[in-house]
């Protein structure tokens, strides 16, 4: 008999939690012993599109939204309870904080009111604890209380690192026997990377085709990044961060900064949320510009100009980040590209991958950058110190510190031996954290519910 599994998740906007659910469901749906369903709240084409041609059944819960909304939350709780009651699932595997809490409430209600007919077991994967994010102290207390209530309803909590397990035991009083540490995993063979030249051309085309409306720049004739400026006339900044002459003016002089093949590209893939620390990245770029160091990469190319910086991703912080870019006069070198499908394919465009997050669980982007063989600089949050060994397969910097981030970028670009070492050892990171291992360990958790209890000890 097949094991029926329901995955719940709040948002369909592509991110680490969505990739985790997609990887598990696509892997298990190919096995004859599992029947998989995914229920998602705020729908987004990217997530459901990945599952479209598989055997995975998808359900949209329109009232399950990320923000607190009393009316929608009540309706979402009813919808979740109905789904769990009618689905006859063996395992309900919740993901993301809001879906985790709502699923736990619905599960607890059915366990109490439908004792004879409801037999599902509830599992939750914590993709980073929300109460560890920088936020109002009152919100921290509220989210921590919610996690405590939800954790009491679960048979098992999966965390992505030993650090997250320690937090769960200390802050939520979850017994060690009810916690399983299963790091994220990746299959590099599934990522079809563009070579560096193609990746850069494609990034440039994306910026040109999506962010040059109303701009007088003749971008088709030039490589990005570019600055087009007319002396003594008003200029404007378009959403891409490219400074342009208005269409009603004729440029007396055009200045194009050094072409893309003569500049270092430093980038990240991250949704534009406060916790991703993109403002720290922007301030680090400003520091590097002020230093105006001569930078060498691989010991044979000298660059006397500020590198180009790119962020692939979208989110609610775009307006605030654009204001900061303008304030620090980085319009010609720092670009918020926006969301790109299969963003990992473009990682070889970057000479360095930077992850400046203030809070993380176990970021897939580091594993993807590893597959691309791109040197990595990342902040010391979440599972990152368990993934990167400082100055061995990456550089670790204190989170929230733009000066240290700028210093690390300068260090890696000025030290040929270090750059070569990080580039050489980066692929070994992905070898350590495989998708196959993640799936097999998760299947062992599922097996608990049809196997003797001593299996708990085997997971520790």
Structure tokens, 150: 């939800």
Say if residue 338's pLDDT is above 70.
yes
257 alpha-carbon distance from chain centroid: 31
What was the pLDDT predicted at 220? 35
What was the pLDDT predicted at 15? 83
Which of 310, 305, 297 shows the shortest CA–CA distance to 338? Answer: 310
Q: For residues 341-366, give the mean pLDDT.
A: 95
Shared-domain flag, residues 278 and 294: yes
- Domain assignment present for residue 422? The answer is yes
Contact 381, 276 (CB under 8 A): no
What was the pLDDT predicted at 235? 33
**Residue 414: which H helix or E strand, with range?**
helix 402-414
Residues 206-231 have pLDDT tens digits of 877 665 433 333 333 333 443 333 33
Cα–Cα distance for residue pair 435/433, rounded to 1 Å: 7
Total domain count, the chain: 2
What confidence tier does 298 reach under pLDDT thresholds 50, 70, 90?
low
Shared-domain flag, residues 306 and 428: yes
Cα–Cα distance for residue pair 64/69, rounded to 1 Å: 9
Q: For residues 166-171, give the mean pLDDT.
A: 96
Cα–Cα distance for residue pair 81/212, rounded to 1 Å: 47
- Domain assignment present for residue 116? The answer is yes
Say if residue 193's pLDDT is above 90.
yes
Q: For residues 315-340, give the mean pLDDT.
A: 94
Say if residue 272's pLDDT is above 80.
yes
Say if residue 261's pLDDT is above 60.
no
- Domain assignment present for residue 210? The answer is no
29 alpha-carbon distance from chain centroid: 24
What confidence tier does 27 reach under pLDDT thresholds 50, 70, 90?
very high
Task: Identify the residue whose tokens are 């010991």.
Answer: 299
Cα–Cα distance for residue pair 94/322, rounded to 1 Å: 35
User: How do strand 179-181 and strand 156-159 relate by DSSP bridges?
Assistant: parallel
Q: What is the mean pLDDT of the chain?
A: 84
Shared-domain flag, residues 344 and 364: yes
Contact 143, 150 (CB under 8 A): no
Q: Which of 291-300, 326-335, 341-350 has the lowest mean pLDDT?
A: 291-300
Shared-domain flag, residues 428 and 440: no
Say if residue 293's pLDDT is above 60.
no
What confidence tier does 256 reach under pLDDT thresholds 50, 70, 90?
very low
Shared-domain flag, residues 444 and 426: no
Shared-domain flag, residues 338 and 443: no
CATH number at residue 400: 3.40.50.2000
Write the DSSP string, 160-212.
Answer: SSHHHHHHHHHHH---GGGEEE----B-GGG--PPPHHHHHHHHHHHHHHHH-
Cα–Cα distance for residue pair 410/404, rounded to 1 Å: 10
Residues 382-416 have pLDDT tens digits of 899 999 999 999 999 999 999 999 999 999 999 99
- Domain assignment present for residue 364? The answer is yes
Residues 426-445 have pLDDT tens digits of 999 999 999 999 999 999 99
Say if residue 356's pLDDT is above 50.
yes
Q: Which of 175-184, 265-274, 298-307, 323-332 has the lowest mean pLDDT?
A: 298-307
Q: Rg of the chain over CA atoms, in angstroms?
A: 24
- Domain assignment present for residue 449? The answer is yes
Say if residue 155's pLDDT is above 80.
yes
- Domain assignment present for residue 376? The answer is yes
Q: Is the torsion defined by CA of 257, 259, 260, 263 positive or negative?
A: negative
Cα–Cα distance for residue pair 405/309, rounded to 1 Å: 13
Q: For residues 301-328, give the mean pLDDT.
A: 86
User: How do strand 265-269 and strand 243-244 relate by DSSP bridges?
Assistant: unpaired
Structure tokens, 152: 């009491």
Query: Using the 8-state DSSP alphabet, how is residue 390 labeled?
Result: B
Q: Is the torsion defined by CA of 80, 137, 354, 126 positive or negative?
A: negative
User: How do strand 376-379 and strand 395-397 relate by DSSP bridges?
Assistant: parallel
Structural domain span for residue 347: 190-198+259-432
- Domain assignment present for residue 343? The answer is yes
Which of 261, 274, 232 shows the shortest CA–CA distance to 249? Answer: 232
Shared-domain flag, residues 175 and 78: yes
């Amino acid at each position: 008999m097949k094991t029926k599994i329901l995955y719940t998740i709040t948002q369909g906007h592509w991110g680490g939690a969505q990739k985790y659910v997609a990887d598990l469901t696509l892997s298990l749906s190919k096995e004859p012993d599992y029947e998989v369903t995914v229920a998602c709240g705020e729908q987004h084409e990217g997530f459901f599109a990945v599952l479209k041609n598989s055997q995975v059944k998808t359900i949209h819960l329109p009232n399950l939204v990320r923000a607190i909304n009393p009316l929608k939350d009540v309706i979402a709780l009813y919808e979740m309870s109905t789904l769990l009651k009618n689905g006859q699932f063996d395992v309900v595997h919740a993901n993301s904080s809001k879906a985790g809490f709502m699923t736990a409430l619905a599960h607890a209600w059915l366990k109490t009111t439908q004792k004879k007919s409801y037999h599902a077991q509830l599992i939750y994967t914590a993709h980073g604890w929300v109460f560890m994010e920088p936020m109002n102290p009152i919100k921290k207390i509220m989210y921590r209380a919610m996690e405590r209530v939800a954790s009491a309803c679960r048979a098992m909590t999966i965390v992505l690192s030993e650090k997250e397990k320690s937090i769960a035991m200390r802050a939520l009083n979850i017994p060690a026997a009810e916690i399983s540490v299963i790091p994220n995993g990746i299959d590099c063979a599934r990522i079809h990377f563009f070579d560096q030249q193609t990746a850069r051309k494609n990034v440039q085309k994306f910026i040109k085709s999506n962010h040059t409306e109303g701009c007088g720049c003749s971008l088709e004739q030039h490589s990005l990044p570019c600055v087009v400026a007319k002396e003594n006339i008003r200029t404007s900044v378009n959403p891409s961060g490219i400074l342009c002459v208005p269409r009603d003016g004729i440029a007396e002089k055009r200045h194009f900064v050094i072409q893309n093949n003569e500049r270092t590209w430093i980038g990240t893939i991250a949704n534009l949320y406060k916790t991703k620390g993109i403002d720290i990245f922007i301030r680090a770029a400003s520091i590097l510009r002020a230093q105006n160091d001569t930078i060498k990469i691989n010991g044979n190319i000298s660059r006397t100009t500020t590198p180009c910086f790119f962020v692939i991703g979208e989110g609610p912080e775009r307006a605030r980040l654009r204001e900061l870019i303008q304030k620090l006069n980085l319009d010609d070198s720092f670009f918020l590209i926006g969301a790109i499908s299969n963003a990992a394919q473009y990682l070889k465009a970057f000479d360095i991958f930077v992850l400046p997050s203030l809070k993380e669980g176990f970021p897939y982007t580091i594993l993807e950058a590893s597959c691309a063989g791109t040197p990595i600089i990342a902040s010391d949050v979440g599972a990152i110190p368990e993934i990167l060994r400082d100055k061995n397969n990456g550089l670790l910097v204190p989170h929230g510190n733009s000066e240290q981030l700028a210093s690390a970028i300068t260090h890696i670009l000025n030290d040929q031996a270090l750059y070569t070492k990080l580039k050489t050892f980066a692929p070994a990171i992905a070898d350590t954290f495989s998708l196959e291992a993640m799936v097999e360990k998760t299947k062992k958790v599922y097996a608990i519910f049809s196997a003797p209890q001593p299996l708990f000890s085997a997971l520790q």
